[in-house]
Amino acid sequence: MKVLLLEDDVALSDLLNEHLVDKGYEVTLCANGQDALESLIDKKFDIALLDINTPTISGIEVLKRVRNEYKNNTPIIILTAYQDTKHLKESFENGVDDYIKKPFDLEELDQRILKLCRQFLIEQNNKIKIDENIFFEPLSCQIFKNNETINLAQKERDILKYFCTHKNRIISNEELLQNIWVYDEMPTDATIRVYIKNLREIIGKEKITTIRAVGYRFE
């Protein structure tokens, strides 16, 4: 699992990095907000941990920009020494997924990361029920339909996984691009339509609705 850590306190950054690496995570360290923002734009991460009070750009500003400007929905946990509710409120208003006040135990961090892993189906091979006869297994890129096993292409798997974690809301092509592809691999809208068409043929056309000129909704 790929984790981005924005923390300018060297001692704490080293401690968290060592702990996360020991847990088996691949960690990218950033000491300032600008580097974190650029990394989140250019690369794909499973989870980001953002301290608030950081040089160049604050963690909350990074959160705002990735959510609003880049439609990036990477699961994000805010880390902060602030004890007031102002920063808490601002973080959740801008789409943060969780919030930890310092000082915190490493076990608390582990549990919050695991919660997001369950919520966003990160590195989990549990079967997801699409309907009574169709089950989806993300890690193996497979769909099980009426006792038949169907292999998915990796991007088909990534799109379906994203749909499963964002059910019943409209998802634009732009949002799919920002959350599934890295910058130098961006496909055309036509390529996305092919992936959607392939998924519809497998799970049923009625499961993925096209919202004309807006995007798609998975139901």
Q: Which two tokens stand for residue 61?
A: 């500003």
- All domains of the chain in start order, with CATH: 2-119 (3.40.50.2300), 128-218 (1.10.10.10)
* Cα angle 7, 34, 108; round to 5: 25
Looking at per-residue confidence, does 56 or 183 come out higher? 56
Peptide bond preceding 75: is omega within 30 degrees of 0, i.e. cis?
no
Residue 50 is predicted with a pLDDT of 98
Q: What is the pLDDT of residues 63-85, one digit of tens each?
A: 999 999 999 999 999 999 998 89
Residue 107 is predicted with a pLDDT of 96
Indicate whether 125 pLDDT > 80. Answer: no
Instruction: Give the model's confidence band at 151: pLDDT under 50 very low, under 70 low, under 90 confident, else very high.
Output: very high
> Distance between CA atoms of 14 and 42, rounded to whole angstroms?
24
Residue 123 is predicted with a pLDDT of 82
213: left (phi over 0), alpha (psi -120 to 50) or beta: left
Amino acid at 27: V
> What value does the mean pLDDT of the chain take?
94
Indicate whether 216 pLDDT > 90. Answer: yes
Mean pLDDT of 3-26: 96
Instruction: Report the share of the chain in percent with pLDDT over 70.
Output: 100
> Distance between CA atoms of 173 and 193, rounded to whole angstroms?
9
Mean pLDDT of 33-60: 96
Instruction: Give the model's confidence band at 174: pLDDT under 50 very low, under 70 low, under 90 confident, else very high.
Output: very high
**DSSP letter, residue 123:** T
- Length reported for the chain: 219
Instruction: Report the share of the chain in percent with pLDDT over 90.
Output: 90
Indicate whether 202 pLDDT > 80. Answer: yes
